[in-house]
Structure 1
């Protein structure tokens, strides 16, 4: 579309408008006669002709110089008006990093759109690649919860286009930080592409980073763009709305052990709907239906299904609602086979500890073996400890020479592991805090517990406080390889003057059996037919086999079966979790499923699909804009050049008439 830009004020235009009339007036005022010697008869005829030439229209007729001068002024007037039009838009710079979001929300297909957001992002990047000039270089980086360099810097547009076309969608969440570090490492000297392991850039190489995303990621913090110029290109419709499942889990009823309960939480992102229907499926068959009311303010709602005693199998929850992002309308969970913990207790005769381990709740979840401390010096213990046959071993006021391949609990003694330290024992420490959020201390009340003597603890790196007193930490838990060690800084029994008595009243309180049960459940990794905690797409799933299998076979929701081997401590790790759904785990040659685990989106940020108009950083706000910056094509320069040409032609004709 053509347009003009006014560059003069009223006075300037007035003076410029007076020039053409002035030129015409000079032609009327100045009468040029060329002296010629002619016969007298011819002189009279020329004089009569002169009378006609001096008339207004006859003088202007066939006056080429006048026409050229007026054309010169007219071209200058148009040049001052700065005519132009919106031309082809241009990329910014000559080095480009195309950051393409391929997270779950980019699979949204907005209303009145014939492609997903990712497909639209790829189309726009292909257009930008076509706009690259000779010598320009580009780089392709995809990002979801992690970044991947699809193509290093190259000026080969065909290679760049092929890498863009090969980008596939994922079901992962969004984190742009790693992708920004990749781009920044190539533009800023002294910064590496990743936090560790990359070669630093010696010279500054400014680049333009085009971020094609819906902006659904955290505020960018602890990051400086430096020589990197970010341009954010929002993907998607700003009127998009969605309903998604944010949580879906199962557990046994605490009052009725044979009853399974299923819980789900749903959220609305937009003005509607106020109610949705949830369908619950078990092993592919419809099991129950419920209506979920969504809160008018925060848009969330929950539902609980009481299912009774179900067998092992897969659960699927589907929300009946048509929206542009259907991936989060379905959630997955599973009912795993019951697993009993194998517990070894090494104790000299603590009756209260034996009583706590003999309750019906413990018998339901664990197989407990009680041995005397002399067992540690026998032939069987070293073999059993090294094989990892026990899920958890409790040492009551005793210490082994070598730590087992198991989780452990130490009552009143320091484990033989670097990092654990005991201070001198203090009398009558007062408990001031307990970590009730930790599973070991769940529902444990120590408000009325007294302790005669205890030692404060120091833990290895990564340790967590469980009980704290005015004398320091009395109980903590810390990691050791793939295991955990829980340590209590006081014994249940103590001796003075050849007399043995209880060191604490805690063993007589109702909270003590609860505490012992928590230890067995947590460190024994007890699963009594409840659903495995769901992981998100792309996260690692780590587990141990029940029978020390040399390999396990994992069947994803779709595709071929994967086989993996364990580490030295019987730990399996599986990272190919890009598909949403329930995965089956089989050990060794067994055809029976030993356990399930599920992969879901479960991310409010990903389900809120309305794109952000701008992205926030710690220091600035980056406004969303088109992939290119608008480029106006100016014509005034060409008009000035044309005016100069006209002036040269006029000068040439004038001089030819005068001197020829």
Structure 2
């Protein structure tokens, strides 16, 4: 038998109070009477109520105590378990995201989670059934409803970290889905991220410990002939100031440059390197000192792809945008001041302060400081500016801390398909979007009326937005995070195609259309896509990096918690409640007590 609301048992303290009422002597006032006929009855009554004397047998007292006991236990809602409310069905959820590679005492958090899960399996009651879920970029069910101890333990041991971000909500949905097949269950989450159990009957086992960590969050390179600039962003996620050595290497691990960085606690710092890159295809930035999470100490960047795109810049004079675009990899930049000389031979059109009467029929379009209306937007006038507010978008990645002002903006009526990327005073001043298969973007202010080009995030913005407009030759992108799928666009005449991973493993790709996305991106590094066309091999590179923005904040500590979500509906369905019978018995005893009282 189990009590559903055991807190009502505190009312059993009424029992000693009732007993005390029976053993305490009642106090009488002296009173003159006309007769002593009743003295004998009074004497007997005083003897019964002598304080602290041995409690005599009293049927009324016994009936009252039994009534209290029955009523209190009725309030506690007891039920008899016929089908097993105690959970022998376990759902184990193990977080194998990037942050779980962080240190946990002498082990990693991930290895500690697996050890705890295996210990749970070994100590669980016999014939317990287990389901195993991995919490990664896409939660996966590894095992369901198994009572084979060796199979369960092998399933846990086979798990590996994915270095990706985790989808907690998807894991919760899977737990609820699996839990529906059981009368009762218990889910155990092993993670270093907070899990909201709410209506799940389960337990959160925290693997989070405060650890110092410095992460390389971003790297980009621009080329002008053989001279290169490399921009790197580093964040100190520790509670104290640190000094770190930041080095730049090429794809062959040759040291290109190195600097010492002094970074305050919680600070994000940008460093720019000048160096000769020659024919370097890819580089990486690395912090050599070990800390709580080693995986985010290195970041890769592909700087040389074989296919060149063409862009036309139509402007009277804008050195900011011209200089930034001239250093973009694999972009051949053409310039003109004649708005009427625009044709359809370019991959990207940039209109600065002017637009043609008729827009090009193909290619991406980026309008800066628009004058007049077009099919993509409408200009309603000018507004006073203010401080810019960056909105979350792929185009504004790594720009969260950008701080700049604009003196004057255009009041633009944006299309329904446009996504705002920059706001001023709650008014959107920049948007990007796809319209009829083309990428379109508008920056509704003059760069000369802003300090935007003067801040460190401006080169990042130009790099992001050109990647958005132009994409890559073999795929939509050339930069990915661990765990993300890579969409492969095969060349029409390709005979054979494969990928060489950072550890030099070779994985062949099926050429049957549609080509399956490449998803083995757990290891950070530079990947090579090789496409064979008769006797020629075409090589394309793409980088895969640790998701530092989501997984590097390991300097926190969480408390484990347990949640019991067994509800009244489950109890009625699985067990037999004796509450109404206790109430009925209590009423019968009260009637009996009344009858005894009348007779005495």
Q: Specify which of 143, 153, 172 is matched with residue 151 of structure 1.
A: 143
- What is residue 173 of structure 2 aligned with on the other side? 181
**Retained in 1: the 8 A contact 2:102–2:292?**
yes
Distance in structure 1 (CA, Å) of the matches to 2:423 and 2:268? 36
Distance in structure 1 (CA, Å) of the matches to 2:449 and 2:205? 63
Distance in structure 2 (CA, Å) of the matches to 1:488 and 1:375? 20
**Retained in 2: the 8 A contact 1:397–1:412?**
no
Specify every segment of 5 or more residues in structure 2 that has no aligned partner in the other structure, as ranges. 1-84, 566-600
* Alignment CA distance shift 1:483-1:443 (3 Å): farther
Q: Deviations over 1:499-538 (max 9, x none)?
A: xxxxx9x799999x999x96994665399xxxx9854211
Distance in structure 2 (CA, Å) of the matches to 1:406 and 1:566? 30
**Retained in 2: the 8 A contact 1:537–1:580?**
yes
Q: Please give the residue correspondences for 1:502-541 in structure 2 after superposition, counting only pairs within 5 Å.
A: 521=466, 524-525=469-470, 535-541=480-486
Pairwise CA distance, 1:159: 3.5
Q: Deviations over 1:39-87 (max 9, x none)?
A: xxxxxxxxxxxxxxxxxxxxxxxxxxxxxxxxxxxxxxxxxxxxxxxxx
Pairwise CA distance, 1:396: 4.0
- What is residue 347 of structure 2 aligned with on the other side? 390
SS where residue 171 of structure 1 aligns?
coil
Pairwise CA distance, 1:275: 3.3
Q: Deviations over 1:273-325 (max 9, x none)?
A: 84343443222123334333343x44876654332454323333443434564
- What is residue 546 of structure 2 aligned with on the other side? 600
- For the pair 1:225 / 2:205, whether they are aligned, the reply is no
Pairwise CA distance, 1:141: 0.7
Q: Deviations over 1:467-519 (max 9, x none)?
A: 9899x978743223764223699xxxxxxxxxxxxxx9x799999x999x969
**Retained in 2: the 8 A contact 1:457–1:474?**
no
- For the pair 1:460 / 2:438, whether they are aligned, the reply is no
- For the pair 1:246 / 2:216, whether they are aligned, the reply is yes
TM-score (norm 1): 0.53
Q: Specify which of 268, 276, 279 is matched with residue 311 of structure 1.
A: 279
Pairwise CA distance, 1:604: 6.8
Q: Please give the residue correspondences for 1:630-649 in structure 2 after superposition, counting only pairs within 5 Å.
A: none
Distance in structure 2 (CA, Å) of the matches to 1:374 and 1:533? 33
- For the pair 1:123 / 2:115, whether they are aligned, the reply is yes
- What is residue 55 of structure 2 aligned with on the other side? none
- What is residue 70 of structure 2 aligned with on the other side? none
SS where residue 185 of structure 1 aligns?
helix
Distance in structure 2 (CA, Å) of the matches to 1:408 and 1:448? 19
* Alignment CA distance shift 1:92-1:290 (3 Å): farther
Distance in structure 1 (CA, Å) of the matches to 2:501 and 2:292? 26
Distance in structure 1 (CA, Å) of the matches to 2:86 and 2:133? 18
* Alignment CA distance shift 1:318-1:341 (3 Å): closer
Q: Deviations over 1:433-470 (max 9, x none)?
A: 79685879999997468x9xx9x534124532779899
Q: Please give the residue correspondences for 1:199-598 in structure 2 after superposition, counting only pairs within 5 Å.
A: 205-213=183-191, 215=192, 217=193, 219-220=194-195, 225-226=198-199, 228-235=200-207, 238=209, 241-252=211-222, 258-267=227-236, 269=238, 274-282=242-250, 283-295=252-264, 297-298=265-266, 303-323=271-291, 325-337=293-305, 340-343=308-311, 353=315, 365-368=331-334, 390-392=347-349, 396-399=355-358, 404=362, 406=364, 412=372, 414-415=374-375, 429-430=382-383, 437=390, 447=407, 457-464=413-420, 476-480=431-435, 483-486=438-441, 521=466, 524-525=469-470, 535-541=480-486, 554-558=499-503, 559-563=505-509, 574-586=518-530, 589=533, 591=537, 593-598=539-544
Distance in structure 1 (CA, Å) of the matches to 2:112 and 2:417? 47
**Retained in 2: the 8 A contact 1:535–1:599?**
yes
**Retained in 2: the 8 A contact 1:544–1:572?**
no
- What is residue 613 of structure 1 aligned with on the other side? 559
- What is residue 104 of structure 1 aligned with on the other side? 98
**Retained in 2: the 8 A contact 1:585–1:595?**
yes
Pairwise CA distance, 1:579: 0.9
Aligned length: 450
* Alignment CA distance shift 1:612-1:508 (3 Å): closer
RMSD over aligned CA atoms reads 5.5
Pairwise CA distance, 1:92: 5.6
SS where residue 132 of structure 2 aligns?
strand
**Retained in 1: the 8 A contact 2:420–2:428?**
no
Q: Deviations over 1:572-619 (max 9, x none)?
A: 9654321111223456645464444242242474452665333699x9
Distance in structure 2 (CA, Å) of the matches to 1:469 and 1:109? 44
Distance in structure 2 (CA, Å) of the matches to 1:145 and 1:474? 33
- Which stretch of the first structure deviates more once superposed, 256-265 or 170-179? 256-265
Distance in structure 1 (CA, Å) of the matches to 2:528 and 2:558? 38
Pairwise CA distance, 1:183: 1.0
Pairwise CA distance, 1:432: 5.0
* Alignment CA distance shift 1:267-1:148 (3 Å): same
Distance in structure 2 (CA, Å) of the matches to 1:593 and 1:141? 37
Pairwise CA distance, 1:208: 0.9
**Retained in 1: the 8 A contact 2:295–2:546?**
no
**Retained in 1: the 8 A contact 2:386–2:424?**
yes
Distance in structure 2 (CA, Å) of the matches to 1:581 and 1:107? 17
* Alignment CA distance shift 1:518-1:324 (3 Å): closer
* Alignment CA distance shift 1:553-1:524 (3 Å): farther
**Retained in 1: the 8 A contact 2:248–2:284?**
yes
Specify every segment of 5 or more residues in structure 1 that has no aligned partner in the other structure, as ranges. 1-90, 188-200, 346-351, 490-503, 621-660
Distance in structure 2 (CA, Å) of the matches to 1:597 and 1:572? 19
Pairwise CA distance, 1:158: 4.1
* Alignment CA distance shift 1:572-1:151 (3 Å): closer
Distance in structure 2 (CA, Å) of the matches to 1:299 and 1:448? 31
